[in-house]
Chains A and B, each alone.
Chain A
Amino acid sequence: MNNLQSLSYYWPELLLVTTILAAVVYDLLTKPSESQRVGLLVFAGLVLTLFANWFTSAERNITLFLDSLALDPFAQFFKTIIIFSTLFVILISRKSNELRIYRTGEYYTLIAIMVFGMFLMVSAIDLIMVYLSIEVVSISSFILAGYLKQDQRSNESSLKYVIYGAFSSGLMLFGLSILFGLTGTTKFFEIQNVISGLDTSSHFALIIASVFILAGFGYKISAVPFHFWTPDVYEGAPTPVTAYLSVAPKAAGFALLIRFFHVLFTDAGLFLESENGIPTIPWPQVLAGISVATMTLGNLVAIQQSSVKRMLAYSSIAHAGYMLMAMPILSGNGVFAIMIYLVMYLFMNLGAFFVVIIVKNKTGGETFEDFRGLGWEMPLVGIVMALFMFSLTGIPPTAGFIGKFYIFAAVIKAGPSFYWLVFAGAVNSVISLYYYMRVVKVMFLEGESKEEHIFPSILESALIIILAAPTLFLGVYWAPIAEWITNSLRFFHQGI
């Protein structure tokens, strides 16, 4: 539908834009010492956007703005995840000591702009929208990663991020240009029609285009070999920003990846096999290979880290690898598994990073030395962190186990050709046990029992309890989440 009719369906995003503009104005009106109030304004605006998102229901798939954005329950699911993670991060940013000496008005405005960019990412069905949305999210995160202007590590991390990010976007754009040249259109559904009818002479160009586009998407979700920016950026950026980057853009990147592959290269979930005896790109094997490489590298390098923050960065690379395991199976099972893993991953990863923030507020450091004896000194934080570590490993009855269970089940159901993938995933989960348990060991088995117990402030305690409760609860009773995801997927395979 054209622009004017689309606006009536677009009002959550319009609310979000109004929030951004209001935050810009409010930032001008507040004094530098009160700049945290902008965060409250953005928080309120995001809550309104969340409710607006829930009330904009779609009875069928709708495309907005002349087939460039899709409004379907799949996009609404991801928008909800993104807003929830943003709300948690805004609350913890108020308490972080790293940001205390800076004016944070622009920080919250940039987070709101990133949310808008991610909304566009999860709804994009046009090549122009794919590029624009990835760029909006990337540019805002470049600035957020370098927000601590006086900290040399933050500067370095934003420099590395900007070089890798701009370079990967350029590669992806080159791939998009070749895809446009092959098909003559930028809309996903028309590209799907043309690709299924291409002959062998364009086979090589399609391979090149796909490799380049995969470079851009892989950069967004930190897949190997496009992951080189992740450890340095996660380590140097302010920890609330790291927590946010590890969850929200990754979720949006997966949504985009799923949509791209689902529409272009599959036929209702099954990857297009050879036609006329000429093989196409073996996407299931390629994606499975990338997944194994990502998992293995993430897990193996995380073992050697001495900084908890950097270890969590490599662990988030490994988790992207676990989610990629289900990508070769883009039927209902695979997409369902990725989506439920993302919900569980949100809670456990944000929780782990929030504990790092609390420890950094207390001791100023983020290495394993600063976690020593934490279980005895701050028992609430210690128990909660142990829970998050168990969940990240995938030990029942935590939420992480449920996520991994669905992923493994989806891969096993796909047939014997993928059993090696499940085996690799299981081996990697066992390897990850080492470095997650190392945190628990340092917290509880080292250091002596203290008499007085310290508790973090009310807001911090409330946040980590709010994140820890679902981590435990969803491991036991996850039916509401499963129902919500099945509901979100009900129109997914139909197309427009």
Chain B
Amino acid sequence: MSEPMIVIDGLTKRFGPFTAVDAISFTVARGEVLGFLGPNGAGKSTTMKMVTGFLSPSEGRASVCGHDVVSDTLAAQRTIGYLPEGAPAYGDMTPRAFLQFIARVRALKGAAADHAIAEAVAATELQGVLDQPIDTLSKGFRRRVGLAQAILHNPPVLIMDEPTDGLDPNQKFEVRKLIKRMSADKAIIISTHILEEVDAICSRALIIDRGRVVADGTPAELISRSRYHNAVTLTVEGQLTVQSAEMLKALPGVVSMDVTARGQETVLTLFTARATASAAVAGDITLVDAVARVAREQGWIVRALYGEPGRLDEVFRALTRSDIDATFNAKNVA
């Protein structure tokens, strides 16, 4: 992996007695898309605000492309494209005027500015609304204006706070495609609480809760922490007797089983030990095969049978609890 472009070391932010971000450390390398996950108020936005120079850290350091964000703020900011939470813009401007303003600030002139604006507009499909005041645009368009602004100067580092919030499914798909396309030569941080997004575009995910990193790994690694990782779910018609259910539970590798009745069907989930690296449990016969064999032998009418990769939302819930007892929302402070 190439050298890290974003280096966060012990970054801490306190608002009075409240610690919003508590000694977070991580790095992001070129080509990586880091997904920032966490409940509301966990410190995602506050961390991004510190990295982009909008808030000063209480402690710790952050550097972007080798520039310290506190001592060399402007140089760091030149390398960053930032989409703040809620995609704020100057509402009385049109997207065209707004992007021209950003281009001027970003030292893009003449043909280079026109080219950059055209590229950003094409990438975010803003052609139709270029001359309407931003205030009059829909939430989805405003978000895309914010995106266009962030990618305008083709920055090596992109930081986006909930880039797909407020977009419809088609737009979400397009934005994810855009992020994926740009990810090859950039270091990207996105925050989201849409878990499917992590799987779709992130090469690495960081779960933070109450200002601390509680998990850091590839989406696959995080999913493997799920209780459902490598579990097998079987849906059969009718009720199962206790004896037949016990037959499934006795299969090699199975540590526990959930049984739920759903209308005329019974849903059984067989959990395996989480340490199991792959779905193979007994020699080369996978658990799915084993369950299928039992079902066949017993003559059950099988409606569904599948192995589970794991459930990210379950991992997320298990790791983060701050949304339940948080009495203080960091967002109101900034």
Do A and B associate with each other? no
A: residues with CB less than 8 A from B are: none
B: residues with CB less than 8 A from A are: none
